[in-house]
Amino acid sequence: MAHASSTRQILTAAHWGPVQVETDGERVLTSRGVLDTALPNSLQTVVADQVHSPARIRYPMARKGFLASPEAPLGERGKDEYVRISWEQALDLIDKQHRRIRTAYGPGAIFAGSYGWRSIGVLHKSSTLLQRYMALAGGYVGHLGDYSTGAAQVIMPYVLGSNEVYQQQTSWPVVLEHSEVVVLWSANPLNTLKIAWNASDEQGLNYIAALRDSGKTVICIDPMRSETVEFFGEQARWVAPRPGTDVALMLGIAHTLVVNRWLDSDFLARCTEGYPQFADYLTGLDDGQPKDARWAAAICGVPQAQICQLAELFSQRRTLLMGGWGMQRQQYGEQRHWMLVTLAAMLGQIGLPGGGFGFSYHFANGGNPTRRAAVPASMQNTLPGAGRVVDSIPVARIVEALENPGGHYRHNGEDKTFPDIRFIWWAGGNNFTHHQDTNRLIRAWQKPELVVISECYWTPAAKHADIVLPATTSYERNDLTMTGDYSHQHLVPMKQVVAPQYEARNDFDVFADLSARLSDDGRLRFTQGKDEMAWLAEFYQVARQRGAEKGVVLADFATFWAANQLTEMPQQEENNRFVRFADFRADPRANPLKTPSGKIEIYSARIAGFGEPDCPPHPAWIAPDAWWGNREPGQLQLLSAHPAHRLHGQLHYSRLRELYQVAGREPVTLHPDDAARYGIAPGDLVRVWNACGQVLAGALVSDGIRPGVICIHEGAWPDLAPEAGGICRQGAVNVLTRDIPTSRLGNGCAGGMALVWIEKYSGPQPAPAAFIP
């Protein structure tokens, strides 16, 4: 190892926050976070694993069957060998086939709606650069929504006039001062606050620690005793409903409010629309079934008395319902967030300091007050006048689009038609870890004529491509970012740590070269005559201008860049006191929401007009197809929760795997009662299966999960073993989850749970091969 005197400390950033990286100029030696935080973040320690992973894609590669016949590829994606080719050969191949497909079928045949957690930074966002190139080429098919909040972000505009899941929350200082009860409903912030869409400002865990030390009542509603429940210890009450039954539990609480006259009738009259229609459903006037605590208990498995206690507690104390996203990633997921808003409206505390609800406290440190910030520009929207998206499909319906080109479907009240996709380019995302029903995806993935993947690692998506292009990691190039999706707390120089590894290239340069093949002025149109540092200087100058308008003075770019330091933005006292919906509550007429009525819509006439059978016009309990109530003998409910030591599929290849693997695989958590029932001991290798597929996992036996429920964390790389019946050697949970939409309104992903069987595994044990190039 190099001596300390020959090493340098370089500041950069990642989704998990600003990171100080030690390098000898050729290799990454160590990495650590630089902000003062209440808890360590394991994700910050493995930059060396990211840069020097054996799973890196080293050279441009092409599938043998594609090389032999590019216009009519032979073989099967996922089962073919790869051949090293030159960059020139790779780009020429892509250019020729791209032109052929675009000429024959038009831009509607080209899917560049590349989706995933992209590298952070204002310049090197891979999907933006891909779409910039495709816009210059004449347009492409894009995507609608995301996997995280697909159902909620469609339903919430009808209810609240905004998507709400990506909005700033009532500030944490207000919560810590005024809230008396904080409910973490389907949220595990100890895991999910390690990350952000941009660089994390890392303050959320500090506030969670302050909440723990405040003495306030904290209630965690989750089928698992999560890391967050463990963190709060005796400070938290754990309520464990059956998976998928949150709406029934909320209805039972709501009915109890009605019968005890604990609801806020004045707030409902002033600030909501359609409560009487919902009340007829709640009390059973329209169907003969009151949704009372007894009814709810039979469905959700939470005792009737406990449901009544929750109703009394919420109504008598200032209560903030912090809703997570996991519960809406299920069939009929639209109903979960709608019902939580309805419950908060019945309590009448929306717009009060420390009361109401919030949907992003568990993500990107929502509630950390927004700073008076100088925010840089970005590569997005820097290509004026170009034809861009010619069609879009809901992101979670990509497989159905491939299976059924020209087929009709419904989305958000509209009749739509799936495009006939012939060419897919996926840059900076690994859809094989985040999409459901992996085996169905693999079958559909054979249909396009060309699949190109731009990636750093041999992900499962890369292993199912025709052409694979090695991309740089963010540590091998220069960029800029802000910390905090909501707070904009710091401006961070993301300085190159080491040179690009092997033959990896920046996406910016790759798409500039391809644009040059489009026309004589293609390169100039793509780059606008600016290289990496010129773009960053321009984006930074915009930050200086924006800052000057707010009284924030930034140094010139050369000084900022040379300093290699964070720039922290000043606080704004009014934002420290921010209360979401306060103005609306004070005067709904003067401050209407962007709904048809200007109010919170508990009943939506617009949704009623759509007539969707799987999305009624007010929140309602609809039993999912796969849940405790219709399981077959011996089946268990499977949860797929967010992992602790990776970001979905990111960092799965790193040494952090050693912190959680069991029997060399992904762990499956099961209750001691279920372990005894199936003859499974801690550390056993087990098989989990259903009609979608089968996986191997290592048994983790714990009383921190509801009996009858098991959990495999999402994000593991699929690793199917043909020699063992196609079983997944690694334990990727989406081999088991069904690819169905949440509803015909939202078309979100519904991979949050499934029904499965489990047994101790005694067959041949194929060695995991997910991370072998």
Low-confidence ranges of the chain (pLDDT < 70): 1-5, 383-387
- Write out the residue limits of the CATH 3.40.50.740 domain(s) in the chain: 61-145+388-568
Q: Report which of 198, 199, 293, 184 is spatially closest to residue 249, judged by C-alpha positions.
A: 293
Q: How far is CA 51 from the centre of its chain?
A: 23
| H helix intervals, 564-692 | 573-576, 582-586, 605-610, 672-677
Structure tokens at 189: 């912030």
Give the number of other Cβ atoms within 10 Å of residue 237's Cβ: 18
List where CATH 3.40.228.10 sits in the chain.
152-370+578-610
Look up residue 468 and give its two tokens.
């694979």
Q: What is the DSSP letter of 55?
A: T
753-760 vs 636-639, strand pairing mode: antiparallel
**Which residue out of 115, 275, 361, 761 is catalytically annotated?**
115
Distances (CA, A) of 664 to 426, 698, 731: 30, 7, 10
pLDDT at 437: 97
- 102 Cβ contact partners less than 8 Å away, ≥ 6 residues apart: 109, 110, 137, 138, 423
| Tokens read off for 71 | 């216009």
Give domain 628-760's CATH architecture. Beta Barrel (2.40)
CA dihedral 508, 514, 517, 522 (to 10 degrees): -30
Amino acid present at 741 = P
Residue 404 annotated in ligand binding: no
In angstroms, the CA 749 to CA 734 distance is 11
Flag whether 564 is marked binding: no
pLDDT, tens digit, 9 for 90 and up, residues 87-122: 999 999 999 999 999 999 999 999 998 887 878 999
Q: Name the CATH architecture for the domain at 152-370+578-610.
A: 3-Layer(aba) Sandwich (3.40)
Amino acid at 664: G
Flag whether 117 is marked binding. Answer: yes
Establish whether 729 is an annotated binding residue: no
Active-site choice (87, 117, 238, 262): 117
For residue 450, what are the β-bridge partners?
423
Contact 746, 334 (CB under 8 A): yes
CB neighbour list of residue 735: distance below 8 Å, 6 or more residues apart: 437, 438, 439, 692, 693, 694, 695, 718, 720, 728
- DSSP 8-state secondary structure symbol assigned to residue 115: -
Is residue 434 part of an annotated ligand binding site?
yes
Which residue from 272, 320, 332 is spatially nearest to 152, judged by alpha carbons? 332
Short-list 185, 547, 163, 202, CA closest to 368: 202
CA distance 582 to 605: 26
pTM: 0.97
426 is in an annotated binding site: no
- Please indicate whether residue 115 is annotated as part of the active site: yes
Q: What is the pLDDT of residues 359-371, one digit of tens each?
A: 999 999 999 999 9
- Both tokens of residue 750? 């519904």
CATH fold label, 61-145+388-568: Rossmann fold (3.40.50)
Identify the H or E element spanning 473: none
Establish whether 477 is an annotated binding residue: yes
**Per-residue b/e over 568-605, b at no fewer than 16 CB within 10 Å?**
ebeeeeebeebbbbbebbeebeeeebebebbbbbbbbe
HSE-up (13 A, CA, CB side) for residue 30: 9
425 is catalytic: no
Residues 6+ apart with CB under 8 A from 409: 397, 400, 416, 417, 418, 744, 747
